[in-house]
Amino acid sequence: MSRFAMLFPGQGAQSVGMLSALAERYPVVGETYAEASEALGYDMGALIDQGPSERLDQTEFTQPALVAAGVAAWRVWQSRGGPAPTLLAGHSLGEYTALVAADALDFGDALRLTQMRGRAMQSAVGPGEGAMSAIIGLDDDAVKAACSEAEAEHADAQLVVSAANFNAPLQVVVAGHADAVATAGRIAKAKGAKLVKPLAVSVPSHCALMKPAAERLQSHLLEIPLRQPKLTVLHNVDAQPREEVDGIRKALVRQLDHSVLWADTIRAMRTANCELFVECGPGKVLSGLNKRIDKSAQSLPLSDIESLRQALDATRVEDE
């Protein structure tokens, strides 16, 4: 069996009806949603299956819903005899799902924690105050320079903008105050960016504006029991694992107002001889990014019956 990594998606992967095909065939999906409902006090299955999308897309609901969906897909994988991955990682929010899969964090605690995280992020920045944009076709250093120049233009107003997600080569997301993000986009275009795409988000994640949310998260995490992970999880902040509970807490807090080093994470997994990446949860966003990061790596989603079969076959486990 080849070494492989399991990846868990973050915000943006959600959609009404996600994982419906797996839910129809595998009862563990509904059981997982019922467990989430009990932990949070509302019907998670109904929210995921029926929406409305306006509610599912609200950060405080999106985050635990994606944790629930990711854990449901992981449990389907386990129920089919899918082998344990060599390495785990999650994109931003997905890191919490990865920690559940690694048995470092209880599912119920992850749900409540991400609900609180979503609320803290939403309250950290006023409506319309923050923004995020994807900058396509410009290298990392040029994006950083664009952000620095934009901050200099807005120095009197003390507006901030920085690189939030290093998702893939020539694909970086910036975040900060809305005016500074717009200025960084204009400067990036002047530097040769092919596309600057504003993102439809209500919260500018992974930048200095999230510091109040990070402080709230830090306080809350002290009350959450964590364990040494049974599987190795690479963290967003530096593409490195943590074995100690205190290190995990610090990495989760730091992640909220620092950049997500996703491309570095995938490269680290490739260096560790992971030949296959299985995206465990709704959507195919991470599989798409992986093709940009390393064309030689094989990436497979795990979100419906056929993709589950392909992933099991690729790890040399036969499905029914």
Active site residues: 92, 206
User: What angle (nearest 5°) sits at the alpha carbon of residue 112, between those of residues 84 and 56?
Assistant: 90
Report the alpha-carbon distance of residue 320 to residue 318 in Å, rounded. 7
Nearest to 89 by CA among 193, 153, 9: 9
Contact 172, 135 (CB under 8 A): yes
Report the alpha-carbon distance of residue 137 to residue 235 in Å, rounded. 26
Strand partners, 233: 88
Burial class (CB in 10 A: 0-12, 13-18, 19+), 129: middle
CA 73, chain centre distance (Å): 15
Q: Which spans in the chain are helix H?
A: 20-25, 27-40, 44-50, 53-56, 59-79, 94-101, 107-124, 140-153, 178-190, 211-221, 245-256, 262-271, 285-293, 305-314
Cβ neighbours of residue 30 closer than 8 Å, sequence gap 6 or more: 23, 45
User: What angle (nearest 5°) sits at the alpha carbon of residue 246, between those of residues 243 and 248?
Assistant: 60
Tokens representing 61? 């609901």
The percent of the chain in helix, strand and coil, each rounded to the nearest 5, is 50, 15, 35
Strand partners, 301: 279
